[in-house]
């Protein structure tokens, strides 16, 4: 009883080390969005656009500047020299001022100013009209936020699409491994039967070699598929941002539920849901706003402001002065240049509209092609399912005939190889359908 308890304890401790990690498709998508560098950069770009928009909003408020300075000169910056001489002395009688008989001597002197000083200026200017550039600049910054969001949505779609493709790639390789293992088991069973029959002299050595050659071929293909599965799993783990795990199990199956008609939508109506289409609209709008901002450079600009001045020179008392001012700037000579610059902007607007129209048509064409690919992939699945049923039935008939001595070994080996081939083709068709399905959902804005 004590030994049994020890064994159970060891089993409980060891089992978690060999626990197999299982991932669904939804969990894989979540991990990919959390860990993918492109998505992370998209989030950072959105935050950068928001900061740009906030910076543009500050232009609605007054601009404030302050300047201060102190100086100490080697000598006076200004000097006033007075000549010496006799000055008449005023005796209180104006009549004697011109004919004064008494004088006071004043020697020559030089007076210096501005040898040292301190001053400071504080100015606040509120723009009243700037040709619409502040308003249009804020609209352009807000448009930049929308563009960064659409780009991030595109990045997420790309990551999700790649996640699905890699997920179904690993699942399909797992299915092919199971098919090859089943085929190998059949050949091993057949090999034992043929070896017994060869020892009994019922079959030739050539039949035994055929089975062994076919078994070697299956083992080689199995090794190739397992190597491919390992590489595909490593790439999948790297994409979703988890360490590689050789025991990783992907639990979603390749089953096909229903026809593609359930996913069809009107393509013209779905166009407005495409991030690419909204980016095209944003590019047209951006050109229009750029034109408005360029026009604003040639319109009058007006503003009001206040200024405070502090000044102290030499040994005089300090002084503080305040004033209110208004400014008006009219670019008169710039209109000659503006006539050509604004025409250039108009041409660029037309180019953006042409690009939007052309690319919108390409997006509609992409939707139609993707829909056609989806329906073709569904047909391949149905044809593959029918071919698999026929291959299964063909193998059953050939096995029965071989057991009853009504067919040769080559026919049985060919029937087994055909069944394995049909299984692989059906697996590829189902994986292709699932990939085409997610592509169609993405190109129709879902």
* Band (400; pLDDT cuts 50, 70, 90): confident
Residue 396 backbone phi and psi in degrees, to 5: -60, -45
Say what the pLDDT of residue 91 is.
67
pLDDT tens-place string over residues 370-381:
999 999 999 999
| Distance separating alpha carbons of residues 179 and 160, to the nearest angstrom | 28
Tell which phi-psi region holds residue 114, choosing left (phi > 0), alpha (psi between -120 and 50) or beta: left
pLDDT number for residue 20: 65
- The verdict on residue 377 lying in a domain is yes
- Contact status, residue 144 vs residue 126, Cβ threshold 8 Å: no
**How many structural domains compose the chain?**
1
In a domain, residue 15? The reply is: no
Residues 293-300 have a mean pLDDT of: 87
pLDDT at 90: 67
> What are the structure tokens assigned to 138, written together?
């804020």
Helices (H), 200-301: 205-240, 267-271, 275-296
How many other CB atoms are there within 10 angstroms of residue 33's CB atom? Answer: 17
Residue 178 lies in a domain: yes
Write down the pLDDT at residue 277.
Answer: 92
pLDDT at residue 79, rounded to an integer = 73
Separation between Cα atoms, residue 60 and residue 5, nearest integer Å: 78
Between 8 and 238, whose confidence is greater?
Answer: 238
Per-range mean pLDDT, top range of 69-78, 101-110, 195-204, 412-421: 412-421
% of the chain beyond a pLDDT of 70:
91
The fraction of the chain above a pLDDT of 90, given in percent, is 32
Residue 315 belongs to a domain: no
pLDDT in tens, 358-372: 999 999 999 999 999
The residues, ordered by sequence, that sit 6+ positions from 163 with a Cβ below 8 Å of its Cβ are 25, 28, 29, 32, 239, 240
12 vs 318, residue with greater confidence: 318
Residue 306 lies in a domain: no
What are the tens digits of pLDDT across the range 94-105?
676 677 667 677
Determine, yes or no, domain membership for 108.
no
Average confidence (pLDDT) over 212-217 = 87
pLDDT in tens, 38-96: 888 888 999 999 998 989 888 888 889 999 999 888 887 777 777 777 777 766 676 76
Contact (CB, 8 A) for 445 and 157:
no
What residue ranges in 44-93 does DSSP mark as E strands? 63-72, 78-82, 85-88
Residues contacting residue 434 through CB under 8 Å, at least 6 positions apart: 164, 168, 254, 256
Q: What is the pLDDT of residue 18?
A: 46
CATH number at residue 194: 1.20.1600.10
- Would you place residue 8 in the very low, low, confident or very high pLDDT band (cuts 50, 70, 90)? very low
436 burial via Cβ count (<10 Å: 0-12, 13-18, 19+): buried
**pTM score, whole prediction:** 0.75
How would you label 198-219 residue by residue, b for 16+ Cβ within 10 Å and e otherwise? beeeebeeebbebbeebbeebe
13 domain residue, yes or no: no
**Residue 75 DSSP one-character state:** S
> Higher-confidence residue: 163 or 112?
163
Task: Decide if pLDDT at 2 tops 60.
Answer: no
Range(s) of the domain holding residue 406: 29-66+129-298+346-443
Lowest-confidence range among 2-16, 146-160, 206-220, 244-258?
2-16
Could you count the other beta carbons within 10 Å of the beta carbon of residue 271? 19
Does the pLDDT value for residue 237 go beyond 60? yes
What is the DSSP-derived secondary structure letter of residue 445?
A: T
Report if residue 335 sits inside a domain: no
Between 87 and 251, name the one with better pLDDT: 251
Position 327 scores a pLDDT of 87
């Amino acid at each position: 009883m004590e030994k049994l308890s020890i064994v159970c304890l060891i089993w409980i401790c060891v089992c978690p080390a060999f626990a197999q990690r299982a991932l669904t498709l939804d969990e894989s998508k979540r991990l990919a969005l959390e860990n993918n560098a492109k998505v992370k950069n998209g989030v950072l770009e959105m935050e950068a656009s928001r900061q740009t928009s906030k910076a543009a909003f500050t232009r609605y408020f007054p601009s404030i500047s302050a300047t201060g300075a102190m100086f100490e000169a080697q000598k006076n910056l200004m000097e006033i020299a007075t000549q010496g001489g006799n000055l008449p002395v005023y005796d209180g009688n104006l009549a004697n001022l011109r004919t004064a008989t008494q004088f006071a001597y004043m020697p020559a002197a030089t007076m210096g100013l501005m040898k040292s000083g301190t001053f400071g200026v504080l100015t606040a200017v509120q723009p009243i009209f700037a040709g619409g550039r502040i308003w249009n600049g804020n609209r352009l910054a807000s448009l930049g936020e929308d563009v960064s969001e659409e780009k991030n949505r595109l990045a997420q779609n790309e990551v999700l699409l790649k996640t699905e493709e890699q997920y179904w790639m690993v699942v399909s390789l797992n299915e092919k491994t199971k098919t090859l293992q089943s085929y190998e088991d059949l050949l091993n069973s057949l090999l034992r039967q043929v070896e017994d029959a060869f020892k009994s002299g019922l079959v030739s050595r050539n039949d035994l070699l055929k089975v062994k050659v076919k078994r070697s071929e299956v083992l080689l293909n199995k090794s190739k598929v397992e190597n491919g599965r390992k590489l595909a799993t490593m790439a999948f783990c790297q994409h979703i941002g988890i360490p590689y795990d050789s025991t990783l199990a992907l639990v979603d199956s390749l089953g096909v539920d229903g026809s593609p008609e359930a996913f069809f939508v009107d393509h013209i109506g779905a166009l407005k849901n495409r991030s690419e289409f909204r980016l095209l609209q944003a590019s047209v709008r951006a050109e229009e706003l750029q034109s408005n901002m360029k026009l604003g450079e040639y319109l009058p600009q007006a503003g009001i402001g206040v200024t405070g001045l502090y000044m102290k020179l030499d040994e005089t008392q300090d002084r503080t002065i305040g004033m209110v001012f208004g400014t008006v700037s009219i670019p008169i000579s710039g209109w000659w240049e503006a006539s050509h610059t604004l025409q250039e902007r108009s041409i660029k607007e037309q180019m953006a509209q042409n690009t939007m129209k052309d690319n919108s048509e390409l997006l509609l064409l992409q939707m139609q092609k993707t829909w056609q690919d989806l329906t073709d992939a569904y047909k391949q699945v149905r044809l593959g399912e029918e071919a698999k049923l026929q291959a299964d039935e063909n193998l059953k008939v050939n096995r029965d005939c071989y057991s009853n001595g009504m067919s040769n070994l080559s026919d049985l080996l060919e029937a087994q190889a055909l069944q394995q081939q049909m299984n692989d083709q059906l697996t590829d068709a189902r994986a292709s359908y699932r990939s085409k399905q997610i592509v169609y959902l993405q190109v129709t804005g879902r």
